[in-house]
Amino acid sequence: MAEPAVTGKEHWINKGDVRLFLYEKYAGSPKGPKGTILFVHGSSMAGQPTFDLKVPGRDDASVMDVFARAGFSTWSVDMEGYGRSDKKRDINCDIATGADDVTAASAYIMKQGHGPLMVYGISSGALRAAMFAERHPERVKRLALDAMVWTGEGSPTLVERTKKLPQFLKMNRRPIDLAFMRSVFERDHPGCADDAVVQAFAEQVLAQDDSVPTGTYVDMCMRLPVVDPEKITVPTIVMRGQWDGIAGFEDLAKFFAKLPNPDKQFAVMPGISHASFQQKNYKLVYHILMSFFTQPEPVYRG
């Protein structure tokens, strides 16, 4: 049987006088029978390259397509300063600003008849998603935090990044190029991603942005922690790649222990460094996320 065709739709919303770009994908009905997912991107790339990646010869490179075919309505949002969203304000678009963007996106999506939402965030997107869940738990059905950092303890990548903090503090945007994009995959454990995937990802990111905001880097270098696990009351999964240089294992284990909802999971993903969906073991990531987002509600809670 042929797989159902996936439909993509563009949406534009306003956050005050800032225009944000949302992208929706679904197969069949816009209201997916399994629920609605909002994907939240990280510090250096917009939503579509991250979650709707196109790679020749790999028809499952788009996580939005995979989950749409599985019965979900899937959405991504470009944070202010990224991709197709406005870049007009002279600000560095920190994590709190991103949480505001997720708030605006969620309000719009729920007005379309969706929700509460499954929310997935990666890297600084996980921090944006976690901050949003603190503020609006009523809008979140299940929360997935991938490649996240809490206090920064045990993060060699942040140690190196902090050396450039004086530079980041002087500018609201930082340049990105092909060499930088490749460094995302080479800094922790080279070989975790196929070259063709890295190249396609880099090209699609750079087609939308040649610079990105510095705010998340500044926050992650000097302002952690920016979220409080004890205030995240929704069902949550913490996902950590085996070789992720951002997400220190012990740091996340302490974060996980403080999450108050007993409906929680901690998944370590073998053979994966930081950009989970673009790794050779991406199918493990899909499986873990699909399992969590389709988990039945407990019939007994005590």
CATH number (domain holding residue 275): 3.40.50.1820
From first to last of the 302 residues of the chain, give the pLDDT tens digit. 567 799 999 999 999 999 999 999 999 989 999 999 999 999 999 999 999 999 999 999 999 999 999 999 999 999 999 999 999 999 999 999 999 999 999 999 999 999 899 999 999 999 999 999 999 999 999 999 999 999 999 999 999 999 999 999 999 999 999 999 999 999 999 999 999 999 999 999 999 999 999 999 999 999 999 999 999 999 999 999 999 999 899 999 999 999 999 999 999 999 999 999 999 999 999 999 999 999 999 999 88
User: Residue 211 domain-assigned?
Assistant: yes
User: Residue 76 domain-assigned?
Assistant: yes
Q: Please tell me the total count of domains within the chain.
A: 1
User: Residue 47 domain-assigned?
Assistant: yes
User: Residue 152 domain-assigned?
Assistant: yes
Range of the domain at 90: 6-293
User: Residue 298 domain-assigned?
Assistant: no
User: Residue 66 domain-assigned?
Assistant: yes
User: Residue 27 domain-assigned?
Assistant: yes
| pTM (2 d.p.) | 0.98
User: Residue 213 domain-assigned?
Assistant: yes
Rounded Cα distance between 92 and 97, Å, is 9
Q: Examine residue 4 and say whether the peptide bond preceding it is cis (omega within 30 degrees of 0).
A: no
Annotate 252-266 with b (16+ C-beta within 10 A) or e (fewer).
Answer: beebbeebeeeebbb
